[in-house]
Each structure stands twice: as structure tokens, then as C-alpha cells.
Amino acid sequence: MNAIASPQRSGLDNESAAVSPMLQIRDLHVSYGKTQALHGVDLLVQQGEVIALIGANGAGKSTTLRAISGLLKPTQGQIIYQGNNIAGVSADRIVAQGIAQSPEERHIWPTMTVYENLALGAYLCKKDTEVERRVALVYDRFPRLKERHRQLAGTLSGGEQQMLAIGRALMSEPSLLLLDEPSLGLSPRMAEEVFEFVREINTHGVTVILVEQNVYNALSVSTRAYVYETGKVVAEREAAGLLDDPELLSAYLGA
């Protein structure tokens, strides 16, 4: 396994010396009660990247996203976003700074309409006209949601609910989008649509951090990937290099 690169030896180190990263995580520790979930995680994300966090279930990937988005308070470490340490900052203030998360299992409001779910994603907007503008942009990206504008969210298909969850996150017009298991429970065809959307929003300037159990789908849309094992980052590589390294995938993911 000599080919595995340490996160501290990333090829981005020289670049980051000249260009400040969008996000840098330093020595991040997070616990659930007495159980420590993250043990000193270090990550670096540059503007415009799609970063995949991969590893076995329970390795700490989703915990990292929740710490970034303010849903979990770290016990130690820094989360530097656009030059400011946001570790422990409340979730609403983090959304206001340009970070949004589409959570695992979607967590939409099933008894509310598609439109009402989207509008809640823009709760920081003070003008109705601005909310309508953002809804129109989401409908442009997801025409099926427009067709189901007044339909209750709980009656949507799994793929449509995933579109709604991502669309709701986009309503805050984030610079950094966190996607947690976006293809969970979807058919291969619908999953491909989701990952095509990731490519599309990235070309429009949205930086993405992606947690995804389907390793090959995740790496196919990513710039780089961090490999997690039991709450630690054990490797950082260019995504294409990981796809070509079955030994690493087998060792850490059981692929």
C-alpha cells in the first residue's frame, strides 16, 4: 500500500500556499456522547472542486458533513471556511455564510407541497420576489418538480424526493453544497440523473462535498477523494487515481 498518499502530502499543498482554500478542516474531533466519531480529521477543499468522502459505514463521513453544517459541535479542531473558523457556529448562521446540506434520507416534509418545501429552504430571504426567483431556478433544473408544484412531497417517488431535498438546499444559493448519500434507495437510472446534476451545478461554480456509498459513482464526478477508516482520513488521492487502484478500494472499502 505504498501508493497511498497522506493527506498532509497532498499535491494541493503548493497550490494552497498561493491560493487560500475555500474550506480547511484541521484536527477535527467530534463525539456522540462518550463515543468519539472523528479522531483528528484534516481536509482541504479548493473553490470549484467536487470532493468525495468515501469509506465503510460508520467511518465518520456523514459526521464530518454535520460538523461543517453546524448540526454537530466539534470537541476539538477548526473548520475554516472562507478564512473564518465556523466550528461550533449555529446551523442557521452557517447557511447564511453560503453552506447548505442535503441530508441523508432526504428529510423532506411529507405533508407539505413541493413548493412549500422549497420555500422553507429560502427562509433567510426577506422578499417574496426573491423566493419566487429561486424557486424558478430550481424548477428549471428539475422540471419534474415543477410538474408536481402543488403535490404533497410524501407522495413523490424516491428520486423525486431526492431532487426536492437537493433543490431545497439550493434555495439558499450556497457556494458550498454538502450532499449526503444522494443516490440512497434510487434506481441506477435515477442515480445517474442525480450525479449528472452534480456535474452541472459544479460547472456553474458550486463547490461540492459528496458522501456516497456507491464508490464508482462518487469518484466519477469528483476531483479528489478522501478515504475514511474508523474516524480518520487514511488516504487522499485524485479521484481518477483511486478508480484505477483496486488494491486501495479493496483494502478500505471491501470492494
The DSSP secondary structure of 114-175, one letter per residue, reads HHHHHHHTTTT---HHHHHHHHHHHHHH-HHHHHTTTSBGGGS-HHHHHHHHHHHHHTT--S
42 occurs within a structural domain: yes
The answer to whether 98 and 175 have CB atoms below 8 angstroms apart is yes
pLDDT over 70 at 237, yes or no:
yes
Half-sphere exposure (Cβ direction) of 41: Cα atoms closer than 13 Å = 33
Name the residue type at position 113.
Answer: T
Least confident of 22-31, 82-91, 139-148, 190-199: 190-199
Look at the block and give the residue holding cell 407541497. 113
113 occurs within a structural domain: no
How many independent structural domains does the chain possess?
A: 1
Contacts with 13 (C-beta within 8 Å, 6 or more apart), sequence order: none
pLDDT over 50 at 229, yes or no:
yes
pLDDT in tens, 77-93: 999 999 999 999 999 99
What does the pLDDT average to over 183-194?
A: 84
Instruction: Return the number of other C-beta atoms located less than 10 Å from residue 234's C-beta.
Output: 18
What does the pLDDT average to over 202-229?
A: 91
Report the b/e string of 151-168 with b at 16+ CB within 10 A.
eebeebeebbbbbbbbbb
* pTM exceeds 0.75, yes or no: yes
pLDDT over 90 at 197, yes or no:
no
pLDDT over 90 at 217, yes or no:
no
pLDDT over 70 at 10, yes or no:
no
82 occurs within a structural domain: yes
What pLDDT is attached to residue 7?
39
What pLDDT is attached to residue 249?
66
Structural domain including 22 reads 1-97+221-255
Under the banding of pLDDT at 50, 70 and 90, the label for residue 251 is: low
pLDDT over 60 at 134, yes or no:
yes
242 occurs within a structural domain: yes
Collapsing DSSP to helix, strand or coil, 44 comes out as strand
Name the residue type at position 158.
Answer: G
Give the separation between CA 137 and CA 200, rounded to whole angstroms: 13
What does the pLDDT average to over 210-218?
A: 88
Identify the helix (H) or strand (E) that includes residue 247. Answer: helix 246-253
Distances (CA, A) of 10 to 24, 41, 45, 146: 13, 14, 11, 43
pLDDT in tens, 150-182: 999 999 988 889 889 999 999 999 999 999 998
The answer to whether 64 and 43 have CB atoms below 8 angstroms apart is yes
38 occurs within a structural domain: yes
What pLDDT is attached to residue 254?
55
Give the separation between CA 187 and CA 216, rounded to whole angstroms: 15
Instruction: Return the number of other C-beta atoms located less than 10 Å from residue 177's C-beta.
Output: 23
CATH number at residue 13: 3.40.50.300
Under the banding of pLDDT at 50, 70 and 90, the label for residue 104 is: confident
The answer to whether 190 and 158 have CB atoms below 8 angstroms apart is yes
Under the banding of pLDDT at 50, 70 and 90, the label for residue 190 is: confident
1 occurs within a structural domain: yes
pLDDT in tens, 23-57: 999 999 999 988 999 999 999 999 999 999 998 88
170 occurs within a structural domain: no
What pLDDT is attached to residue 168?
94
10 occurs within a structural domain: yes
